[in-house]
């Protein structure tokens, strides 16, 4: 894996190391949440179960073994990548807020992939307006959430 060859002393190496630690922490947290002990991984090919917990704690688990653990624990690798690249804290993986941000981001990407090519032109002039656009999207999400809560309360009152 090419990432293994980047010196840790370089800025890229430090960033990769930070990302690796976040991924390891998510894996450890999921093992704890599911009460999975390292010994139960002994029959999983490619996972060195005797030292896995200690290596996860120090962040010294090769990418291939991380991928096996992510698959074994049924973690979402795309969501992990989102956490690592956008949020930077392992704890976010387990929050509803992260789920909303991840789902909304993937939907926005899908819509924009359809829309932008059809519009054509240079979008760089609006780059300084991205914050305004993001706040408008936030406002739409908040308003939709408010409407959903009102509907839920109305439905609850009607069923009583």
CA distance 56 to 77: 17
pTM of the model: 0.77
What are the two backbone dihedrals, phi and then psi, of residue 9, each rounded to the nearest 5 degrees? -70, -20
Q: Is the pLDDT assigned to residue 9 strictly greater than 60?
A: no
CA distance 156 to 159: 5
The two three-digit tokens of residue 41, written as one number? 């991984």
Residue with the bigger pLDDT between 9 and 150: it is 150
Sorted by where each begins, the domain ranges of the chain are: 2-90, 97-159
Give me the mean pLDDT over the 96-116 stretch.
89
**Over the stretch 126-152, which tens digit does the pLDDT of each residue have?**
888 889 999 999 999 999 989 988 887
**Over the stretch 73-96, which tens digit does the pLDDT of each residue have?**
999 999 999 999 888 999 999 999
Residues 107, 115 contacting (CB under 8 angstroms):
no
């Amino acid at each position: 894996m090419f990432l293994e060859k980047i010196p840790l002393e370089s800025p890229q190496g430090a960033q990769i190391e930070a990302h690796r630690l976040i991924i390891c922490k998510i894996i450890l947290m999921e093992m704890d949440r599911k009460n999975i002990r390292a010994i139960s991984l002994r029959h999983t090919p490619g996972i060195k179960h005797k030292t896995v917990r200690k290596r996860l704690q120090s962040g010294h688990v090769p990418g291939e073994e991380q991928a096996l653990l992510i698959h074994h624990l049924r973690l979402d690798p795309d969501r992990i990548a989102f956490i690592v690249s956008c949020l930077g804290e392992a704890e976010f993986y387990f929050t509803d807020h992260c789920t909303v941000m991840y789902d909304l981001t993937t939907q926005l990407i899908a819509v924009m992939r359809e829309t932008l090519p059809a519009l054509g032109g240079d979008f760089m002039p609006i780059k300084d307006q991205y914050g305004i656009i993001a706040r408008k999207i936030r406002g739409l999400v908040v308003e939709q959430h408010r409407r959903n809560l009102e509907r839920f309360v109305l439905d609850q009152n009607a069923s009583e």
